[in-house]
Amino acid sequence: MAPSANGQTVGRRLPVESAFTRVEDARHRLPRLFGRRDLVVLGLGVMIGSGIFSLSGKEAATVAGPAVILSFLIAALVCVLAAACYAELSSTIPVSGSAYTFSYVTFGEMWAWLVGWALVLELVTAAAIVARVWSAYFLATLDGFGVTLPHSLAQFFGPDAKVNLVAPLLLLLLTAMIVTGTKLSSRVLTVVVAAKVAVILLVVIIGATHINWANYHPFIPMRRAAQATASPTLLSWIVDSSFGTFGVMGIFTAASSIVFAFIGFDLIATASEDARNPRKTVPQGMLLGVGAVTILYVAMAVVLVGLRPYGQLGGPAPVSEAMDSVGIGWAADVVNLGALLALMTVIMVVLIAQSRVLFNMGRDGLLPKSLGRVSRVYSSPARAASAAGVAAVILTLYPNVIDLEELLVIGALFCFAFCAVGVLRLRRTEPNLERGFRVPMVPLVPLLSLGATLWLMLNLKTSTWWMFIVWMVFGLAVYGLYGRWHSRLANEESWDFEIGDTDPGSGGLQAIRPTDSDTSELRAIRTPPKPTRGKHMRN
In angstroms, the CA 354 to CA 259 distance is: 19
Average of per-residue pLDDT across 95-101: 82
**What is the band of 241 on the pLDDT scale with cuts at 50, 70, 90?**
low
CB 354 within 8 A of CB 120: yes
Question: What pLDDT is attached to residue 433?
Answer: 85
In angstroms, the CA 273 to CA 95 distance is: 5
Question: What pLDDT is attached to residue 529?
Answer: 53
For 286, residues 6+ apart whose C-beta sits below 8 A from its C-beta are 39, 43, 83, 86, 87, 90, 265, 266, 268, 269
Question: Is pLDDT of 512 > 50?
Answer: no
Average of per-residue pLDDT across 68-88: 91
Beta bridge partners of 526: 433
Residue type, 419: C
Domains and CATH numbers, the chain: 28-490 (1.20.1740.10)
Q: How many CA atoms lie within 13 A of 137 on its CB side?
A: 27
Q: Give me the phi and psi of 202, to 5 degrees please.
A: -60, -45
For the residues of 55-107, what is the DSSP string, one character each? IHHHHIIIIIGGGHHHHHHHHHHHHHHHHHHHHHHHHHS-STTTHHHHHHHHT
Question: Is pLDDT of 109 > 50?
Answer: yes
The alpha carbon of 479 is separated from its chain's Cα centroid by a whole number of angstroms, namely: 23
Q: Give me the phi and psi of 209, to 5 degrees please.
A: -80, -5
Q: Between 191 and 457, where is the model more confident?
A: 457
Candidates 342, 343, 306, 301; CA nearest to 326 is 306
* Three-class DSSP category at 522: coil
- Omega before 218 cis (within 30°)? yes
Burial of 451 (0-12, 13-18, 19+ CB in 10 A): middle
Neighbours of 110 (CB within 10 A): 20
**What is the band of 236 on the pLDDT scale with cuts at 50, 70, 90?**
confident
Question: Is pLDDT of 124 > 50?
Answer: yes
The mean-pLDDT minimum among 308-322, 363-377, 507-521 falls in 507-521
Beta bridge partners of 375: 380
Work out whether the CA dihedral 396, 398, 399, 401 comes out positive or negative.
negative
In angstroms, the CA 118 to CA 100 distance is: 9
Angle, alpha carbons 37-39-40 (nearest 5°): 65
Question: Is pLDDT of 487 > 80?
Answer: yes
Question: Is pLDDT of 443 > 80?
Answer: yes
Candidates 266, 298, 300; CA nearest to 80 is 266
Beta bridge partners of 380: 375
Rg (CA), the chain: 24
* Three-class DSSP category at 507: coil
By percentage, how much of the chain surpasses pLDDT 70? Answer: 81
Average of per-residue pLDDT across 526-533: 52
DSSP 51: I
CB 425 within 8 A of CB 523: no
**What is the band of 380 on the pLDDT scale with cuts at 50, 70, 90?**
confident
Q: Give me the phi and psi of 224, to 5 degrees please.
A: -120, 145
Question: What pLDDT is attached to residue 133?
Answer: 84
**What is the band of 492 on the pLDDT scale with cuts at 50, 70, 90?**
low
List, for residues 134-177, the tens digit of each pLDDT value.
888 788 788 777 777 777 777 777 667 788 888 999 999 889 88
In angstroms, the CA 91 to CA 430 distance is: 14
Question: Is pLDDT of 6 > 60?
Answer: no
First to last CA, the chain: 50
Question: What pLDDT is attached to residue 502?
Answer: 33
Question: What pLDDT is attached to residue 479?
Answer: 94
List, for residues 46-57, the tens digit of each pLDDT value.
788 767 777 888
**What is the band of 534 on the pLDDT scale with cuts at 50, 70, 90?**
very low
Average of per-residue pLDDT across 184-204: 76
DSSP 242: -
For 205, residues 6+ apart whose C-beta sits below 8 A from its C-beta are none
Question: What pLDDT is attached to residue 508?
Answer: 33
Question: What pLDDT is attached to residue 9?
Answer: 52
Candidates 362, 422, 398; CA nearest to 89 is 422
For 519, residues 6+ apart whose C-beta sits below 8 A from its C-beta are none
List, for residues 32-46, the tens digit of each pLDDT value.
566 777 788 878 877
List, for residues 264-303, the tens digit of each pLDDT value.
787 787 777 667 777 888 888 888 888 888 999 999 899 9
In angstroms, the CA 159 to CA 149 distance is: 15
In angstroms, the CA 199 to CA 204 distance is: 9
* Three-class DSSP category at 395: helix
